[in-house]
Structure 1
């Protein structure tokens, strides 16, 4: 039976994965300033949270999971897959 990763890591990974397409869609369409001003810091904070939470996972986080956490956008999802 798989052990679920901690809830904060799952939340940060979801926010990271959802915010990147929103930012890119905004970039290729209307390039609205408020979307960029809000979405950029949200994505950055989620990215940093994924990295920090992965490294804080202790022995559960393998070297592969730690390296995957550094991938922007999809790193959180990769880490979740490796920690299951």
Structure 2
């Protein structure tokens, strides 16, 4: 069992839910999926405004490069889940 599967099993156990329950509540076209997309958007906007453009980050070329990669990965995750929304 990989880490993702362990986390899913723990969520099921904590919530007395089955994988089918999770899929219904959080799968494609669900409110839960929409909620995740919204949280990604808010987090990426906050990251870009307050972290990636912070003077301490801008002064450090490597830190800036890393911050931009994180922003890009969040945008990719948003796009991936938004298609299912």
TM-score scaled by length of structure 2:
0.46
Q: Larger Cα Rg: Structure 1 or Structure 2?
A: 2
The structure whose residues are more often helix, as a share, is: 2
Structure with bigger RCO (C-alpha 8 Å, 6+ apart): 1
TM-score scaled by length of structure 1:
0.46
